[in-house]
Amino acid sequence: MNSTVSTLIQQTLMMFILAGIGYWLFKIKKITAEGSKTLGNILIYIVLPAVIVKSFIVERTPEKIQALLLATLLGVVALALAMLISALIFKKDPIANFASAFSNVGFFGIPLITGTLGAEAVFFLAPSIALLNLGQFSYGVAIMTGEKGSLSFKKVMTAPFMIAIIIGLILFFTQLPLPGIVTNAMTYLANVNTPLAMFTVGVYLAQTDLGAMFKKPQLYWLTVVRLLLIPLATLAVFCLVPAQFHDMKLAILIGMICPVGSNVAVYAQLHGKDFRYAVETVIISTIFSILTMPLVVYLAEMIWK
């Protein structure tokens, strides 16, 4: 087993340990459901933006500009493929359609990529994060509510992740130097992304009736689509990309092999849909991802070498 897969397995196990701590803290009433929402707000409004901005603080070179453009193109292809497969399979189940199309790139993808490829590889994932969140805000909400144009362009452009990407692009293209205290603060914030995110997953898990969840066949089919069918289709398409972009391909693939994004539960609750079902899609895919994520990366490393 190569070092990348081994590191990914260790990173995944570590994340599940952190989720277990979140589960335990909720069970002993040291974190409440309201407290988990607060953690979520800290992640969305402070921590994830810091991670994104920090990923753009690199030297601007022609190679980096080319990499950013190619990463954007590959992100578009990967997300379009996920949305197409999900729409074809779950056309009569809006929540499953949303859940399988959009992976948990921010909470799972960034920590996994940092652990396996290094913090600099988050740069390759930044366009995918932007595209995924744009897709959730627009297409995702539309399929869940059955209404087009349910979110304004202004709300999309003022979302925390989008502001972070705009700031990051400005810093990247202008090479504006930041005081050391600012970059150090961003580093400290980025370092809490994994534990806070996994504590939140653990709290979700603690509020789920696992016995009832494991008796629902549709959740297993959703998990197969989200964790295997979409990643393997992405892997196959990325075979067309030259081997010199191996780390970029792998970073974006890792983003696509992640479990269901927790935003499906957020949007389901916001729009009065089946919130419990939405949470179950997050939990069951997260549980099984410990097996599927290393498998897909192993296949990618075998095929792309």
Interval 256-292: pLDDT, tens: 999 998 778 777 776 778 878 888 898 899 889 989 9
Give the CATH fold of the 3-304 domain. Answer: Na+/H+ antiporter like fold (1.20.1530)
Would the pLDDT of 89 be above 90? yes
Of the listed ranges 26-40, 77-91, 212-226, 284-298, the least confidently predicted one is 26-40
Report pLDDT for 36. 79
Residue 96 vs residue 148, higher pLDDT: 96
**Interval 96-105 mean pLDDT:** 92
Would the pLDDT of 115 be above 90? no
The residue ranges of every structural domain in the chain are 3-304
**Interval 127-153 mean pLDDT:** 75
Of the listed ranges 119-133, 177-191, 264-278, the least confidently predicted one is 264-278
Report pLDDT for 83. 95
Would the pLDDT of 73 be above 70? yes
Report pLDDT for 152. 62
Contacts 24+ apart (CB under 8 A), 216-224: 216/280, 218/93, 218/96, 219/280, 219/281, 219/284, 220/284, 222/90, 222/96, 222/99, 222/100, 222/260, 222/281, 222/284, 222/285, 223/284, 223/285, 223/288
Would the pLDDT of 245 be above 80? yes
Report pLDDT for 1. 58
Would the pLDDT of 149 be above 60? no
Report pLDDT for 100. 95
pLDDT band at 161 (very low <50, low <70, confident <90, very high): confident
pLDDT band at 86 (very low <50, low <70, confident <90, very high): very high
pLDDT band at 150 (very low <50, low <70, confident <90, very high): low
pLDDT band at 151 (very low <50, low <70, confident <90, very high): low
Residue 30 vs residue 107, higher pLDDT: 30
Mean pLDDT comparison of 14-28, 115-129, 141-155, 199-213, highest-scoring range: 14-28
Computed over every residue of the chain, the mean pLDDT equals 87
User: 52 and 238 in contact (C-beta within 8 Å)?
Assistant: no
**Interval 214-226 mean pLDDT:** 94
pLDDT band at 197 (very low <50, low <70, confident <90, very high): confident
Report pLDDT for 201. 78
